Structure 1
Amino acid sequence: MEWVPDVLGEEFTQRTLPLGADDEGPLVATLVRALPRRTWWQRIAGDRRELTDVDVLYVHGWSDYFFQKPLARFFTARGARFFALDLRKYGRSLRPGQTPGYVSDLAEYDADIAAALAVIREGVPQPDPDADGGTARPGRRLLLLGHSTGGLVLSLWASRHPGEADALVLNSPWLEFQLSRFTREAVLPLVGLHARYRPLERAPQVDLGFYSRAQREVAEPDDETPNPEWRPAQTMAVHSGWLHAVLAGHAAVAKGLDIGMPVCVLLSTRTAVPTSWSDALTRADTVLVVDDIARAALKLGASVTVERIEGALHDVFLSRHEARQDAYDRLGRWVTGWAVVR
């Protein structure tokens, strides 16, 4: 497959990644790319921006896809190549007849990530496999960036693939069940039973659409309007097989992952329960219990920075202006510090 224009406009291209098939038909992932722009002087004298040797791979959350253009520009402005992956059965990768977002094991996404990395590393000089005992890395560094469920997926992937990436940034990662660790441990066997015999049975859920409304209320004028078929105002159906996969991921985090690279976690300072609409929902995470996520984040590895952002939504980079700017400022400081250490 070749790169073709993306729905986000001229800065972005996309490439379809074939992944075989399952019972619902052909599977694909979609890789979206934004490249840094260089001035004539940078082309002649060399690009000295701090992230010129960095590739970023972004993975979205549940009931979501990549559409955050300012996030891509944050990295390309610093010289990085930015890539975003719409996982199988999400967004650009969703095909007719497929159950949106469904997998029975989060490790299934290893194939999506492997296909994306193969494309990202095309044309990049690869190390001699016999050098350094086979541990030599490509000349470019890899920064992983995950939101919500994507943060859980990338955390588990990084734990299973030590040495494959250089940094992990998590935007409100879904690292623990909303109703506490004890509830997760209690319901996991029951959900597992349903997952075994009725994996596509719908789990009970209530979503009044307030999180989507909060994002609309605080949107910036140049924000991209999400495609409602790819990012519905009310979340996609949750199936027992998928929920069991997520709870198993939470259990793995609770045991500790020992991710051997620096990790930055960005979170709101507070959680709000979205039972009825109020302006408070535009200044809090209405999806996760952020204090529980902050505690769970410390189980990811030995080097974890937790940034708490006043007034942030669940996606900190889609918050109201002040919180959004604070999130970018904090990310900028962290990335700058990480970039100078090789």
Structure 2
Amino acid sequence: MTEWIPDVLGDEFEQLTLDLGTDDQGPVVATLVRALPRRPSLWARASGRRPLLDGVDVLYVHGWSDYFFQKRLARFWTSRGARFFALDLRKYGRSLRDGQTPGYVADLATYDEDIGAALEAMGRGEGGAESARRLLLLGHSTGGLTLSLWASRHPGSADAVILNSPWLEFQFAPARAAIAPMVELQARLRPMEAAPQVDLGFYTRAQQEVADPDDPMDVNPLWRPAQTMAVYAGWLHAILSGHKAVASGLSITAPVCVLLSARFVPPTRWSDELTSADSVLVVDDIARAALRLGPSVTVERIDGALHDVFLSRHEAREDAYRRLDRWVTGWRAAQ
């Protein structure tokens, strides 16, 4: 394991490269980013009160065609006393190496290695079992699906799961069962065959339209392209298998909070509607699928939110943070 070094996000952040061996495309790594906590205010030190999330570790996992860059999200957690970490999975963002197929895996369980290495680097021991600190998992989109499956396979490892527009169901839910056998066959015969590009870049445009000058985002277009990365048959089969597992019901023992936009607008043509709705996932289907994650699930629907609720226009973004704060405060009180 290498040493912590300064991260591309600036002085508040450091990164650590996690060696995951090799595959047929060469060396494989994941990258763990940590937010350095700010010194408590003089009042906080004088009061002697423990921060709300003292003793809590947060592990964030990004979505498809994405990486971690949200400074304000990290500050939300560190300002409340938590240790915040974000994981750029293998072949994404900071972890992408020359000659690799961006984002490609043939089984979402492959990421158990990435998550396990991250937890160990966080000082939690292998699988997180050796730490007395609470573990809160935070996942966006495909990262939400990945963490949901991981938490179900590792009961008791996470103390809370928060999902930001998790990709829990295929965009055309009734068609999933029909297309799954064809995708499975294609994945066996030609796993690296790419599907036609259907992303017109409207989701990226919507984020740019609603960008908040008081909360600027500096995004690397090589790591988060305007149009989504190529989708391959082997990867799509892994996603559909994950959706099937969710539909059959998971067993996440920890309480779950799901943050979603109030509505979906299909991105078939550009319109202002796309700046106040999820244009990636059919949110009503996701809300229904979320209830199959475990026995304790809260679904928060946010009017005007984009697919990443924390990148929405100002009013919806603030609403998302208020709801997150309310849920976390209640969760912590129950501890």
TMscore range, shorter length: over 0.9
- Which of these residues, 79, 82, 102, is aligned with residue 81 of structure 2? 79
Provide the C-alpha distance between the structure 1 equivalents of 2:189 and 2:216, rounded to a whole number of angstroms. 43
Alignment deviations for residues 202-258 of structure 1 (CA, whole Å, 9 cap, x no partner): 123411100000001111113222100000000000000000000000000000002
Measure how far apart 1:295 and its partner are. 0.1
Measure how far apart 1:47 and its partner are. 5.4
CA pair 136-170 structure 1, distance change in 2 beyond 3 A: closer
Alignment deviations for residues 317-336 of structure 1 (CA, whole Å, 9 cap, x no partner): 00000000000000000000
Provide the C-alpha distance between the structure 1 equivalents of 2:333 and 2:19, rounded to a whole number of angstroms. 36
**Aligned position for 1:199:** 191
Measure how far apart 1:27 and its partner are. 0.2
**Aligned position for 1:5:** 6
* Contact kept? 2:129, 2:157, Cα under 8 Å: no
Provide the C-alpha distance between the structure 1 equivalents of 2:285 and 2:57, rounded to a whole number of angstroms. 30
Q: Which runs of 5+ in 1 are unaligned?
A: 127-134
SS in 2 for 1:340: helix
Provide the C-alpha distance between the structure 1 equivalents of 2:27 and 2:61, rounded to a whole number of angstroms. 21
Q: Match for 1:226: what amino acid?
A: V
TM-score, L = length of structure 2? 0.96
* 1:28-47 → structure 2 map (5 Å cutoff): 28-39=29-40, 41=42, 42=44, 46=48
Measure how far apart 1:40 and its partner are. 6.4
**Aligned position for 1:147:** 140
Provide the C-alpha distance between the structure 2 equivalents of 1:225 and 1:5, rounded to a whole number of angstroms. 16
Q: Match for 1:25: what amino acid?
A: G
CA pair 171-40 structure 1, distance change in 2 beyond 3 A: closer
SS in 1 for 2:334: coil
My pick for the range that moved more, 311-320 or 35-44, is 35-44
| Matched pairs, number | 331
Alignment deviations for residues 93-140 of structure 1 (CA, whole Å, 9 cap, x no partner): 000000000000000000000000001126x9x9xxxxxxxx986221
- Which of these residues, 188, 212, 215, is aligned with residue 204 of structure 2? 212
Q: Match for 2:137: what amino acid?
A: L
My pick for the range that moved more, 35-44 or 158-167, is 35-44
* Contact kept? 1:35, 1:80, Cα under 8 Å: no
TM-score, L = length of structure 1? 0.94
**Aligned position for 2:259:** 266
Measure how far apart 1:46 and its partner are. 4.6
* 1:1-342 → structure 2 map (5 Å cutoff): 1-39=2-40, 41=42, 42=44, 46=48, 48-121=50-123, 138-180=131-173, 182-221=174-213, 222-342=215-335
Q: Match for 1:159: what amino acid?
A: S
SS in 1 for 2:11: strand
* Contact kept? 1:141, 1:165, Cα under 8 Å: yes
Provide the C-alpha distance between the structure 1 equivalents of 2:130 and 2:329, rounded to a whole number of angstroms. 21
Provide the C-alpha distance between the structure 2 equivalents of 1:136 and 1:118, rounded to a whole number of angstroms. 10
Q: Match for 1:96: what amino acid?
A: D
Q: Match for 1:329: what amino acid?
A: R
Q: Which runs of 5+ in 2 are unaligned?
A: none
Provide the C-alpha distance between the structure 1 equivalents of 2:49 and 2:93, rounded to a whole number of angstroms. 34
Provide the C-alpha distance between the structure 2 equivalents of 1:250 and 1:59, rounded to a whole number of angstroms. 18
Measure how far apart 1:39 and its partner are. 2.8
* Contact kept? 2:155, 2:251, Cα under 8 Å: no
Q: Match for 1:254: what amino acid?
A: A
Provide the C-alpha distance between the structure 1 equivalents of 2:76 and 2:164, rounded to a whole number of angstroms. 14
Provide the C-alpha distance between the structure 1 equivalents of 2:65 and 2:131, rounded to a whole number of angstroms. 33
Q: Percent identity?
A: 73
Provide the C-alpha distance between the structure 1 equivalents of 2:258 and 2:282, rounded to a whole number of angstroms. 14
Q: Match for 2:108: what amino acid?
A: L
CA pair 308-22 structure 1, distance change in 2 beyond 3 A: same
- RMSD after superposition: 1.6
Measure how far apart 1:43 and its partner are. 5.6
Provide the C-alpha distance between the structure 1 equivalents of 2:287 and 2:244, rounded to a whole number of angstroms. 16
Alignment deviations for residues 158-203 of structure 1 (CA, whole Å, 9 cap, x no partner): 00001111000000000000011x3111111100011011110012
Provide the C-alpha distance between the structure 2 equivalents of 1:279 and 1:339, rounded to a whole number of angstroms. 38
Provide the C-alpha distance between the structure 1 equivalents of 2:242 and 2:49, rounded to a whole number of angstroms. 40
SS in 2 for 1:159: helix
